[in-house]
Structures are given as structure tokens and as C-alpha cells.
Amino acid sequence: MAPYRLATYAVGGVTRYGAVTDGGIVDLSARFAKDYPTLREAIAAGALMKLAEEAARHSPDHACDSVTWLPPVPAPEKIICIGVNYPDRNAEYKDGQDAPKYPSMFMRTPRSFISSRRRSRIDSLKPIR
């Protein structure tokens, strides 16, 4: 079974969740909304494999460019982040520092997230080149 990225998105003003594939998004909320209204409930129920198995049986329902991307987990209880947790850190940062001995941990608030495919207010202030 192919690994899927799960996402929350809006289409036609309605919030949905699904599996992102190379061809688009398989709408899993259309198939599981009664049991798991959001990805948060699916995660809490340990149903991610069930969702992935269902996604593998279907063609995409939506094109990726036809949706508005939203943060993946609505109304999270807490968000604990792990920073610099990979061996090639220096190749990416190129700042001359040694990789830290231990990864950093930090908290985030729900309002500090946007989808990776949406521009932030800060991005809109940057000059476009």
C-alpha cells in the first residue's frame, strides 16, 4: 500500500479531509464523517490505517488545485514540535554550526499554523521578485 499524506481542506466552503495522492485528493470525510467527523477523531480512534486502506480503493475526488488547504488537525489539544531532528541539518542550514546533541522541543499554538500551500500574512508583506 502506498503511503498517503492526510490533509484537511475546504471545497465549496465545506471543510473535508482526505488522502493526498499524485492524482488528487481522495475524500475520506465523504466516506467516514459519521465515525470520524475530522482527522482529529480518526487519529484518536487509531483509524489511520483504515483510512489509508480505503483511500487505496478509490480514485481522487478533487484536484489538488481546486481546494483551499487548511491546517491538518482541527482544534488540537496540544502541539509539541521537535526541531532539528535529522542528521543532515547542516546541509540545509549552512550556518557553520554543529548539529545539536539533542533535538529541541517547543510548543506551538493552533493559530500559528497555516497550510503549507497557503500564503501567510507575513508572506504577503514580502516583496515579490
Same domain, 95 and 61: no
Task: Clarify whether residues 102 and 60 are in a common domain.
Answer: no
Query: Is residue 42 located within the same domain as residue 97?
Result: no
Do 84 and 39 belong to one domain? Answer: no
Domain around 22: 5-70
The structure's pTM equals: 0.71
Q: Is residue 32 part of a domain?
A: yes
* Beta carbons within 8 Å of 17's beta carbon, 6+ residues apart: 6, 7, 8, 9, 28, 29, 38, 39, 42
Q: Using the 3D structure, point to which of 32, 49, 70 is the last residue of a domain.
A: 70
List the pLDDT tens digit at each of the 129 positions of the chain. 556 789 999 999 999 999 999 899 999 999 999 999 999 999 999 999 999 999 999 999 999 999 998 888 888 888 888 876 666 766 777 777 777 777 788 898 887 776 666 555 555 555 544
Is 16 inside any structural domain? yes
**What is the rounded distance in angstroms from the CA atom of residue 76 to the CA atom of residue 61?**
26
Return d(Cα 126, Cα 123) in angstroms, integer: 5
